[in-house]
Structure 1
Amino acid sequence: MIYCINATVFTGTEWLENASVGIADGRIQSVLPTPFEGNNETDTVIDFQGDYLVPGLIDLQLYGGSTWFLNEQPTPDTVRHIYGTHSRNGTTTLLPTIHSTSLEVMQQAMAAVQVVRSENPYGVPGLHIEGPYFNPIKRGAHSTAYVRTPAEGELEALFSTNADAIRILTLAPEILTPDQLTTIKNRKHDHTLLSLGHSNATYQQATDAFNTGFIPLATHLYNAMRGFESREPGVVGAVFDHPDVRASIIADGYHCDLAAIRIAHKQLGERLFLISDALFANPPRPEFTLGQFVVHYEADSNPQRPGCYVNDEGKLAGSAITLIDCVRVCVDRVELSLTDALRMASTIPADIIGLGDQLGAIRPGYVANLLRLNRSLTPISVWASGLQLPSPTNTAQ
């Protein structure tokens, strides 16, 4: 048994001071609100000296590790590399994400994730396919060579093999025909979630899509979607106005103004969650080219803050962070509570992907995916299924 003692524990709902957490067989065995020294001399006791012990973070949208990119190399080794890169900083569960590409590459990525999912079901529970079924007006940095409506038979082929690997599919519903939407509804796996994104839908179109219950999510709020205006509230207005839809947001200091994040949190509360949208991290790769997708890293003027990626058109093309950086931005710059920021990065996304009874909290019986943070919210140690991972890397440097 491993005992983490003298920890400031965030259970997912409350804080426990000077608490102890017992770990064995990959699971949390006990959460004690008082110091505990272990039962016998075979126990491993780790004194946290008041540091935070929080649930492992859960990132539902990221594309690459420190050097490999899923679109470029859709293989199991790339998926393992992505997990290794992000897990070192406390992201113990993630959905590798593939952006707009060919059907062949999507299928290769699905097969790759399926392999790693069988090895590491709570670390890589599935794939996020972002595109290519987008409104070209809101394609963002996605390549014009791939953004499209589905070809004849493409949707049937997409959902024919390894369909249960797809955990999230982001699309713009307004560019699809009723028959295509019906095909997706009938053929997608039960746990595949649709997310509205890269969309120029009107408020009414987006609301109609949300009201069906068929699309419960929105991808990276504000970015690559019709914004809020007085006479046309757009996709943003539809997300704000709907009682059930949940939205991801990129809190890296570039994709959204800090006030916009704060406003979104006031409007959505527990319906808002964090994603990193990371192209590369730990450290960020200086530049990358894949066909028409050409990006380079731009450092922040403050060396203590992460930079971002832009493409050759000058458009934002993704972040250069891991999810703990988003937590720090939310706490230090947006001025959200640490409780809210951690829930947005662990408890809420766990619930979204149907794993809220296994992940996103520190409770007996839950998977021992855990993160130790100091008071500056810098990762000190990470455990995945009870195993301590290599030392964290500070991505903000």
Structure 2
Amino acid sequence: MTNRIAFLSDELFDGARRLTDAAILVEDGRVLAILAPGELPEDARRIEMSGGLLAPGFVDLQVNGGGGALLNSALTVDGVRTICRAHARYGTTALLPTLITDTPAVTQAAINAVREAIDAGVPGCLGIHIEGPHLSVARKGAHDPALIRPMDEADIERLTTTGIDHVLTTVAAETVPPAQIARLTAGGVHVAIGHSDASYEVASAAFAAGARGITHLFNAMSQLGHRLPGVVGAALDSPDAWCGLIADGFHVHPAAIANALRAKRAPGRVYLVTDAMSTVGSALTQFELNGRVIQRAGGKLTLEDGTLAGSDLDMIGAIRFMTRVVGLSLDETLRMATLYPAQFLGIDRTHGRIAPGSRADFVWLGDDLSAKDVYIGGVRQTFEPLA
């Protein structure tokens, strides 16, 4: 019996363009071809999708938690699985579980848990994002200042010997010098600048040393001034810097988002992240991070002093915000949630697009931009109703 499946859609977005009356032929979790319905082999099992839009599954490179689990405190395969499943509900089919600044022991435990989750085949787990602890206290945001510290030899060894294919780390450009950045990138680590109070010149030197990313553009970094362009100015000026962006209406003003998109000369190097905490896909109203209580109210998460502490955002919500509030086209917004993060991580041959050889990771979007159905590796995902 054949295991080939044909997904037939009225309208398909493959990551580059829209196709009508197209069919995706899938075998063993991979796309074999995109065909006209009349070209499909007779033995392929057919799945009809009438109405809406079939698109690549979303790729999120900054996910602290979901489904009631936070990676910092859910350091197990089951914890990683819970986070991935919580975001799959909203169309995210590949993500980097993200560890917020913590101790060396917790960092190693998170690396171990993610590596074991990948080995166990947890759907959607791509690798790990380690955000801190080598940050600027002046731009700490919700990170515990008592745990922020310089990078040492043990840290470099830990990051470059994880046994995980895709490792992203966020550092402050003034805390981690170019020589250390160069060693990390030579060891296969993707380096992003964030939680940094660096000058334009120092940030630019970090890019020259191999840093290629910016963690949540505008948030927790030196801003763009007319004489002191800061990290934001360096990020917008660098043609090679990829910028993550939290589009929830709280972290960045829509006008600032629009200006950043123009400055980066789209298409290409601004991609969406959620920076989601454990509340996404759960009924939690509060949780703890490093012993501090974070409250959930009005669509945002805050510490007691009002500091934003990650987000209560899912990727489909970010897409709605970008199209309905910022006014970006749906096709370009979808690229920001699929193709561009995959290109930054170097996995765009298999993720972020629908093409021969790519993983069969799809989200079927309703006309209201809801996730009607989600497939990971060609397998339809099912979810329990939220409490």
- TM-score, normalised by the number of residues in structure 1: 0.90
Alpha-carbon distance in structure 1 between the residues aligned to 2:251 and 2:45: 43
Q: Indicate the residue corresponding to 1:175 in structure 2.
A: 175
Alpha-carbon distance in structure 1 between the residues aligned to 2:156 and 2:207: 23
5+ long unaligned stretches in structure 1:
300-306
What is the 5 A alignment of 1:109-258?
109-120=110-121, 123-150=124-151, 153-159=153-159, 161-162=161-162, 164=164, 167-176=167-176, 178=177, 181-183=178-180, 185-186=182-183, 190-212=187-209, 214-258=210-254
Which runs of at least 4 in structure 1 moved beyond 6 Å after TM superposition?
none
- Residue 279 (str. 1) matches residue 277 (str. 2): yes
What SS does structure 1 have at the residue aligned with 2:59? strand
What SS does structure 2 have at the residue aligned with 1:252? coil
Q: Indicate the residue corresponding to 1:289 in structure 2.
A: 288
1:323-359 superposed Cα distances (whole Å, 9 cap, x missing partner): 1111111111111011110101000111111111111
Whether the 8 Å contact between 1:61 and 1:96 is mirrored in structure 2 is yes
Match of 2:322 among 305, 318, 330: 330
Whether the 8 Å contact between 1:28 and 1:362 is mirrored in structure 2 is yes
Alpha-carbon distance in structure 2 between the residues aligned to 1:333 and 1:138: 28
Whether the 8 Å contact between 2:190 and 2:212 is mirrored in structure 1 is yes
Whether the 8 Å contact between 1:284 and 1:320 is mirrored in structure 2 is no
1:153-208 superposed Cα distances (whole Å, 9 cap, x missing partner): 432452374254561100002023x5xx5345335664310000000001111112
What is the Cα deviation at residue 36 of structure 1? 4.0
Alpha-carbon distance in structure 1 between the residues aligned to 2:349 and 2:77: 27
Partner amino acid for 2:272?
Answer: L
- Residue 95 (str. 1) matches residue 91 (str. 2): no
- TM-score, normalised by the number of residues in structure 2: 0.93
Q: Indicate the residue corresponding to 1:303 in structure 2.
A: none
Partner amino acid for 1:295?
Answer: I
What is the Cα deviation at residue 73 of structure 1? 2.0
Alpha-carbon distance in structure 2 between the residues aligned to 1:65 and 1:156: 28
C-alpha change, 1:310 and 1:107, in structure 2 (3 Å) is same
Match of 2:34 among 31, 34, 46: 31
C-alpha change, 1:5 and 1:166, in structure 2 (3 Å) is closer
Whether the 8 Å contact between 1:3 and 1:44 is mirrored in structure 2 is yes
Alpha-carbon distance in structure 2 between the residues aligned to 1:65 and 1:219: 19
C-alpha change, 1:185 and 1:6, in structure 2 (3 Å) is closer
Partner amino acid for 2:193?
Answer: L
What SS does structure 1 have at the residue aligned with 2:23? strand
What is the Cα deviation at residue 121 of structure 1? 7.8
* Count of aligned residue pairs for this structure pair: 381
C-alpha change, 1:253 and 1:312, in structure 2 (3 Å) is same
5+ long unaligned stretches in structure 2:
none
Q: Indicate the residue corresponding to 1:388 in structure 2.
A: 380
Whether the 8 Å contact between 1:370 and 1:384 is mirrored in structure 2 is yes
Alpha-carbon distance in structure 1 between the residues aligned to 2:385 and 2:255: 29
Whether the 8 Å contact between 1:127 and 1:165 is mirrored in structure 2 is no
Alpha-carbon distance in structure 1 between the residues aligned to 2:51 and 2:165: 39
C-alpha change, 1:187 and 1:237, in structure 2 (3 Å) is closer
Alpha-carbon distance in structure 2 between the residues aligned to 1:105 and 1:188: 23
Alpha-carbon distance in structure 2 between the residues aligned to 1:104 and 1:339: 42
C-alpha change, 1:166 and 1:347, in structure 2 (3 Å) is closer
Whether the 8 Å contact between 1:228 and 1:234 is mirrored in structure 2 is yes
Q: Indicate the residue corresponding to 2:350 in structure 1.
A: 358
Alpha-carbon distance in structure 2 between the residues aligned to 1:70 and 1:161: 20
Partner amino acid for 1:385?
Answer: G
What SS does structure 2 have at the residue aligned with 1:18? strand
Q: Indicate the residue corresponding to 1:63 in structure 2.
A: 64
Whether the 8 Å contact between 2:6 and 2:23 is mirrored in structure 1 is yes
Alpha-carbon distance in structure 2 between the residues aligned to 1:164 and 1:8: 36
What SS does structure 1 have at the residue aligned with 2:257? helix
Alpha-carbon distance in structure 1 between the residues aligned to 2:186 and 2:283: 34
